[in-house]
Structure 1
Amino acid sequence: MDIRHLKYFVAVYEQGSVSAASRQCFIAQPSLSAAIRQLEQQLDVTLFKRLPKGVTPTEDGERLYGHACRLLSQFQALQRSFTEPVDKIRFRLGLVRALGVERMSDLLRQFSVQLPGLELQLVEPDDSCDARIITEELLKSGEQFQPMYHDQFQLALPAGYPLALKPMIELQDFHQLALIKRTPCEAWQRLYPALVRQGIEPDIRADIQTIEYALGLVSAGVACALVPDFEQLRQRQDVLLRPINMTGLTRRIGLAYHPVKTSGVALETLLRLCQKLAA
């Protein structure tokens, strides 16, 4: 297996397009397509479904992506260990909870790859830091806000749950509904007062903080939960997502920073990555 083939595979996965990946990798499109086919033959799997516009990864493609990212990171670290030492760039990044493990891991991986010598320290958003990835509601005076994601909250239900037959969840459906309360959660702060005003009482089975634990309980059939509509969640077979008939169950995630207090190549690199996400 050629390391270049894994690099081409990751580019196609992240770009969602063979032509876009070929431009990114500076390789002719037929050559890149041939490399992907060779990789599929070696693994005896199909990595992408070809669509009229672009491609989408198969389940095997999703599995390979995580392995490929780790192998490429290790290979790059090996290369760097034999090159001239670079100056360390220390950067403290504050993160709120429940941002989505997959997408944040990908962002931080790209940040590290594009900035050799980066020493990244992840801290709580209220700790002293160079920048913060937060919801827009947490923005402080003097901070600039670069949007990254716009999340719509939906109701996550266990597979086979009767309520999943409905295309839209109404507020009345929450009465005595087995529900996992997740705090802090922007959607819960807006939904719960609306339920109280209508005399609707859900059956709270747990009160936890992270989306990952909430999804684990949903998958186990314990209860339902409010979660952001992440792309990765739509591909799961053990959890079903349904929209809720209520406005305002959204949040904006972005990079907050002080343009006067924080500057330098690390912030510039992170800003470019965030702007790309928002495009």
Structure 2
Amino acid sequence: MDLRQFKAFVAIARQQSFTRAAEQLHIAQPAVSMAIRKLEEELELTLFNRKDKRISLTAEGEVFLRHAERILDNFGAAQTEMAELRGLSRGEVRIGIPPMMSSYYFPRVIREFRERYPELQLSVNGEGAGRIQRLIARGEIDMGVIAGGNVPEGLKSRRFLREEIVACVPAGHPLAAGGSISLEVFLGQPLILFKEGYFMRELIDATARERRLTPQVVFETNLFSLVRSLIKEGLGVSTFLRMVVSEDPDLVALSFDPPLHLDLLIAWKAEGYLSRANRAFVDFLMERVGEV
């Protein structure tokens, strides 16, 4: 077995397609098929179900995937660490940031980080907190911003921000003059919610379950700018971090009674190698927290 076989196997498992895997790896599809055929022959196992042009992992393939991902992670970590021992100055930070945070908190962070470390490259993946956790676990990103609470097993994290969660209504809404709103009243309103996997949606769903209430969801999206626009159009109300709506004259931010806050964490794989570039980003982020 060699690394090319491992890479081909993992790419097919993730893409569920030999064609898309070949495109991702920038090699011809016959080469991908041959790599998998040789791998299965060496293991004397069938790793993929091939039926009606659909690809899925066999039970044996599921087991092998865990080992293959770990091997590729370790190889990548070894390459990075050896490069650092050679004194190479360049590096890359691959980070996942939920869309709301990438627009209203991290632009300044990224600019100031680049000013301090111009030789380092940043690659930002905009996803919900749930998917960010999966991308970290799979080694597709190095670290990511997740919501506080129960940190998933296998991740290390540090808190860098605590922000108030507010209900957001259009200016002129009957609730706008109240200054605050109870969760029960909020859940009885027509709601515009983020899709599952985003921390705001998880909060609403968990709150509703605790109170045995059914949220009146009228629209779902993962585009926070669309949520803002639909609130202004009077379609419904939603939740935001206060920083997102504090300076918008067309929206009114209402504190919950009792108040709600969200802890935001920077997280990375506990058993993975955190490169010098990634350590620099974490240290820089925590340094900024101390300055606030």
Q: Specify the TM-score bucket, using the shorter chain as the normaliser.
A: 0.5 to 0.7
1:81-160 matched pairs, under 5 angstroms: 87-123=89-125, 125=132, 126-127=134-135, 128-137=140-149, 139-160=151-172
Distance 1:196 1:90 in 2: 41
Aligned partners of 2:160 and 2:264 also within 8 Å: yes
Letter in 2 for 1:225: S
Number of aligned residue pairs: give it.
Answer: 191
What's the RMSD between the two structures over aligned residues?
A: 2.8
Higher Cα radius of gyration: 2
Quote the sequence identity (%): 16
- How has the CA–CA distance of structure 1 residues 190 and 142 changed in structure 2, closer, same or farther, with 3 Å as cutoff? closer
1:29 maps to none
Which residue of 198, 217, 239 corresponds with 1:226?
Answer: 239
Letter in 2 for 1:117: E
Aligned partners of 1:146 and 1:274 also within 8 Å: no
Structure 2 residue 289 is the aligned partner of structure 1 residue 254:
no
1:268 maps to 279
2:70 maps to none
Tell me the CA shift for residue 137 of structure 1: 4.6
Aligned partners of 1:136 and 1:145 also within 8 Å: no
Aligned partners of 1:136 and 1:253 also within 8 Å: yes
Aligned partners of 1:149 and 1:277 also within 8 Å: no
Tell me the CA shift for residue 142 of structure 1: 4.4
Tell me the CA shift for residue 245 of structure 1: 1.8
Gap runs ≥5 in structure 1: 1-85
- How has the CA–CA distance of structure 1 residues 119 and 166 changed in structure 2, closer, same or farther, with 3 Å as cutoff? same
Tell me the CA shift for residue 275 of structure 1: 0.9
- How has the CA–CA distance of structure 1 residues 236 and 267 changed in structure 2, closer, same or farther, with 3 Å as cutoff? same
- How has the CA–CA distance of structure 1 residues 144 and 151 changed in structure 2, closer, same or farther, with 3 Å as cutoff? same
1:28 maps to none
Deviations 1:226-248 (A, max 9, x none): 11121x5211101110011246x
Tell me the CA shift for residue 151 of structure 1: 2.2
- How has the CA–CA distance of structure 1 residues 87 and 171 changed in structure 2, closer, same or farther, with 3 Å as cutoff? closer
Letter in 2 for 1:214: V
Secondary structure of the residue that 2:100 maps to in structure 1? coil
Letter in 2 for 1:218: I
Aligned partners of 1:154 and 1:242 also within 8 Å: yes
Aligned partners of 2:93 and 2:281 also within 8 Å: no
- How has the CA–CA distance of structure 1 residues 101 and 176 changed in structure 2, closer, same or farther, with 3 Å as cutoff? same
Secondary structure of the residue that 1:147 maps to in structure 2? strand
1:1-279 matched pairs, under 5 angstroms: 87-123=89-125, 125=132, 126-127=134-135, 128-137=140-149, 139-174=151-186, 176-183=188-195, 184-192=197-205, 194-195=207-208, 200-230=213-243, 232-246=244-258, 249-258=260-269, 261-264=273-276, 266-279=277-290
- How has the CA–CA distance of structure 1 residues 194 and 101 changed in structure 2, closer, same or farther, with 3 Å as cutoff? closer
Task: Give the TM-score, by structure 1 length.
Answer: 0.59
Distance 1:116 1:100 in 2: 20
